[in-house]
Structure 1
Amino acid sequence: MTDMVGIGPFVVLSVVAETMNGPWFLYAWIAGAVLSFIDGMIWSELGSTFPLAGGSYNFLKEGFGPKAGKFMSFLFVWQTMIQAPLVIASAAIGFSQYSGYIFPLGFWGSKALSGTVVIFIILLLYRKIETIGKISVLLWVGVLITLVWIISGGVMHGSFLEPVKHMNDGLELNSAFLLALGFASVKSVYSYLGYYNVCHLGGEIQQPEKNIPRSMFISIVGIAVLYLLMNISVASVLPLKQITQSKFVVSEFVQQIAGPGAATLATMLILWVAFASVFSATLGYSRIPYAAAKDGAFFSVFAKLHPTKNFPYVSLLVLGGVAFVFSLLFKIKEVIDAILAMRILVQFIAQAIGLIALSKRKGRSFFKWRMPLYPIPVILAILIWAGIFYSTRPYMMLSGVAVAAAGTLAYVIKSKINRKNGNNTPATILPNE
């Protein structure tokens, strides 16, 4: 939940409302929750059955079988080395952007702050997983305080139910609405990403067949409720036009109900939330290159564990370094679209197809946790993800395809080098960390 509630909902709230251009913008947040819940079923089946460090790396390898699985898992790690730093950078950039409400930084000052956030996160994560768990709980307390304050502010000072009463005003279920819903859902879905982060830490989870599905579904439902209440609360106080044009919509909301001092405090809490999200996301992603390297499918240096603290420090440092560079180069809107475009094809859609293939080979009884109404949720997830991919717009769609194509070329080259060196050892299932 800490990973899910980052800077995303505070930054994209205005973007979603502007894209939908009407009181029905709440539907984009509902759509994001529905997709997350359906996709969470796929992750639950795979995560509970293969509770290993690396998450999707293992799922794709097992789902597509010995030959195609090696290629798909390599492709996933390849794109992770690009999109994982983008995820980390997006939260750091959002942190820097929102801090502009308290003290204007200018272009270079903003870049310096986002880079500093990434560096500080790496320093905090450079320790044992047990200590990290305690830090995560502390960060999550700050997240809850922030969201409860925002929601209660709307309840006490606004006409809280008015946005719900009028959310269908002027609504027409036509192609224009569906197109706008698709574009807006790109941003709302981004705010839900992270419900599956527990799968990347599968080797460190107790009773994974129970705790991995439980973790995801509780998180998705809980965050969906919090997001909807937060949007309703803000819309009950601020006019829609102000919401669509604001860069610091939640800060302006708090200023409206409690004054500038409270708004500054709220902004500081939002920055706390953003920091917590970077922390959690970086933790999960650092395990993916490690898992692949330990399996012999990626550069061996990434398989190194810290000699005393027992965590993949090389993977953590490399991803953090790339994220630092990305945080200096890009804007947050560009990063959000790029993240989804890269992940949808190689991870979300491919993972769903792999689950179907694995079910045919092994049978449904093979899975430690089984979704209801299979295969309907899987088919729905594939169709919805395809629609979201289309909504990222042609430029980002091409970038996603280009990353996959470059990964394919890299895999072919790597395979030729392995054959030349006589290294054809088949990949094996990873043990728990």
Structure 2
Amino acid sequence: MANSTAPGHPGVPSDSTPTALPRRLGLLQGTALNMIDMVGIGPFVVLPLVIQIIGGPQFIWAWVLGAVVSFIDAFIWAELGAAYPLAGGSYNFLKIAYGEQRWGRLFSFLYVWQTLIQAPLVVASGAIGFAQYFSYLVPLDPWQQKAVSGTAVLFVILLLYRKIDDIGRIGMVFWGAVLLTLSWIIIGGLTHAEIPVGQTLAAALEPSPANGDWWAAGLGAASVKTIYCYLGYYNVCHLGSEIRKPGRNIPLSMFISIAGIAVLYLLLNISVVGVIPWQEAKESKFIVSSVIERIYGVKAAQIATGMVLVVAFSSLFAVLLGYSRVPYAAAADGQFFSIFARLHPTRQFPYISLLFLGGLAFIFSLLFRLGDVITAILAMRIVIQFIGQAVGLWILRSRKKATSFPFRMPIYPVPIVLAIGVWAFIFVSTGLSFMLSGLTVIGLGVIAYLVSSRVRQQWPFHTPRP
């Protein structure tokens, strides 16, 4: 790996002009970028899948579990994000927690390594879902759907190719679109429900002879899908060096985002099955469009579909924005290809990182299926990012005084223990093939790290001075 540097900023090429990302995003913009990252196309395509897996009205519990997991994990992100508000989020958290000269090098490298694969997969999943919903408006054959998904990725790259100030304003517009779309669907469903809300909730609490083992067999698999819909609550941590008052705004933006989205998701599910019984909803490819069509007619359903597409596009926008800072952070630190550390000379954003991840997302959007992509994303990230980060915070807390952390979780270390246990449960729930694929990516990353370290004479081949 190349390592040409500029004075005072390791890893930044000498021909790159600006060397720091400006802090221009406040609590409102951070919350908005989290929420549009979280929603996207996810709930609109995952809702029928979750009902299929659970096979009964108890599917709502999978959405509740997704929110609980997110809240628990957010305590870890909040402590780390407030204490270390740096570009790249987990890259820096892992490096600092495990030691910047030894194991931290390996773990942070593995995170960047998997980001090069899973970040484009996240964007591709949203683009594939976008194309799937677009076919409600215009019937598309498989190749036409791929063309639509690829085009969506290209438009996202084009929209992100600008200053962070403009990004913040665009994010606010998209946030408004997300809230408006979900509000219309929820209010329409609740006011036109054929099945009362109380009856829906009562059914979710009662065991059903038809799916009596749903708790043991289906909840884990279904929660893999719902947690995918919550992912993104930590997007603000990837943008840590661009957040104003990070000790306050980073934790607050995450908890506000999760609470708001959890309420919206639960209301969305209740309103949908109030209009369309769950037995019918589980077979729908355009569940939101079908609900609006049943309530208001075809024209209204077409408008709703267009709004869903805007929501899906906004998620692609937030996801690619956040992840483009990860290879940049590693390169600026001298631990990745130095070209990724380049900032645009006038617009001050990591354009090489953006173009690379966006380009891979374009390719992935043409190759994969949505259901497989959703599961692969989680299987690939859990061990290093989520479990590794939770253990890392525990190690950090044992080395540093609690007062070193601007935000401190309640009843420490209970959230950490719970997070590790829950993430391990979700990892197993992805299934053997996806577990093996995730571990394979990690194994290849270890090999790549060792080769790189050997060439550069870094740990473990060269012992750093104490």
TM-score, normalised by the number of residues in structure 2: 0.89
Q: Note if contact 2:106-2:449 (Cα within 8 Å) is conserved in structure 1.
A: yes
Deviations 1:93-139 (A, max 9, x none): 00001111111110110000000000000000000000011111111
Q: How far, CA to CA, are the matches of 1:190 and 1:37 in structure 2? A: 14
Task: Tell me, yes or no, if structure 1 residue 20 matches structure 2 residue 57.
Answer: no
- Match in the other structure for 2:229: 191
Q: Distance in 2 between matches of 1:161 and 1:6?
A: 28
Instruction: Give the drift of 1:156.
Output: 1.2
1:74 equivalenced with 2:112 (yes/no): no
Q: Is the 8 A contact 1:56 1:76 kept in 2?
A: yes
* 1:328 alignment partner, one of 354, 366, 379: 366
In the other structure, the counterpart of 2:134 is: 99
Alignment partner for residue 443 of structure 2, among 393, 405, 414? 405
CA contact (8 A) 1:17 1:244 kept: yes
Q: Which residue of structure 2 aligns with residue 307 of structure 1?
A: 345
Equivalent-residue separation in structure 1 for 2:114 and 2:462 (angstroms): 23
* Residues 236 and 174 (structure 1), Cα distance of their counterparts in 2 relative to 1, 3 Å cut: closer
CA deviations 1:136-183 (Å, max 9, x no partner) are 111111111110011101221113332112212325897652321000
The counterpart of 1:144, out of the listed 166, 179, 185, is: 179
Deviates more, 1:158-167 or 1:25-34: 158-167
Using the alignment, how far apart are the partners of 2:273 and 2:176 within structure 1?
A: 25
Write the mapping of 1:2-401 to structure 2, written as runs, cut at 5 A.
Answer: 2-66=36-100, 67-158=102-193, 159-171=196-208, 176-401=214-439
Q: Which amino acid aligns with 1:48?
A: A
Change (3 A) 1:284 1:425: farther
Q: Distance in 1 between matches of 2:217 and 2:380?
A: 21
What is the DSSP-based 3-state SS (H/G/I as helix, E as strand, rest coil) of the residue aligned with 2:81?
A: helix
* Distance in structure 1 (CA, Å) of the matches to 2:429 and 2:286: 25
**Partner deviation per Cα, 1:23-54 (whole Å, 9 max, x = no partner):** 11100000000000000000000000000000
Q: Distance in 1 between matches of 2:119 and 2:186?
A: 31
Letter paired with 2:358: G
Q: What letter matches 2:159 in structure 1? A: L
C-alpha contact 2:54 2:214 (8 A) present in aligned 1: no
Change (3 A) 1:176 1:259: closer
Measured after TM superposition, the shift of residue 364 of structure 1 is 2.0
CA distance in 2, matches of 1:240, 1:200: 37
Distance across 1 between alignment mates of 2:131 and 2:212: 38
1:275-332 deviation line (CA, Å, top 9, x unaligned): 0000000000000000000001100000000011111000000000000000000011
SS in structure 1 of the partner of residue 174 of structure 2: helix
Aligned amino acid, residue 155 of structure 1: L
- Give the secondary-structure state (helix, strand or coil) at the position aligned to 1:2: helix
- Note the C-alpha offset of 1:340: 0.1
Structure 1 residue 419, shift from structure 2 partner: 1.4
CA contact (8 A) 1:154 1:160 kept: no
Residue type matched to 2:387 in 1? I
Kept in 1, the 8 Å contact 2:154–2:362? The answer is yes
Secondary structure of residue in 2 paired with 1:308: coil
Return the alpha-carbon distance in structure 2 between the equivalents of residues 169 and 360 of structure 1. Answer: 44
Contact 1:24 1:167 in 2 (8 A): yes
State the alpha-carbon separation in 1 of the partners of residues 161 and 246 from structure 2: 25
Instruction: Tell whether the 8 Å contact from 1:161 to 1:236 is kept in structure 2 after alignment.
Output: no
Quick one: distance in 2 between partners of 1:378 and 1:183?
Answer: 22
Which structure 1 residue ranges, 4+ long, deviate > 3 Å from structure 2? 171-176, 423-427
Corresponding position of 2:29:
none
Give the secondary-structure state (helix, strand or coil) at the position aligned to 2:443: helix
**Structure 1, unaligned stretches of length 5 or more?**
428-433
Give me the TM-score of the superposition, normalised by structure 1: 0.96
Q: Amino acid of the residue matched to residue 337 of structure 1? A: T
Q: CA deviation at 1:377?
A: 0.5
1:310 alignment partner, SS class = coil
Rate the CA distance shift 1:27–1:117 in 2: closer, same or farther, 3 A. same
Q: Cα–Cα, structure 1 residues 305 and 178, in superposed 2: closer, same or farther, change >3 Å?
A: same
Does 156-165 or 183-192 show the bigger shift?
A: 156-165
Taking the aligned partners of 1:50 and 1:177, their CA distance within structure 2 comes to 39
Q: Which SS does the other structure have where 2:64 is aligned?
A: helix
Alignment RMSD: 1.6
CA distance in 2, matches of 1:405, 1:28: 31
Cα distance in 2 for residues equivalent to 1:286 and 1:425:
31
CA-to-aligned-CA distance 1:191-215 (integer Å, 9 cap, x gap)? 0000000000000000000000000
Amino acid at match of 1:3: D
Matched positions, count: 425
User: Matched residues in 2 for 1:310 and 1:377: separation?
Assistant: 37
- Tell me the distance in 1 between the aligned counterparts of 2:230 and 2:181: 17
Provide the rounded CA distance (Å) in 1 between the counterparts of 2:336 and 2:94: 15
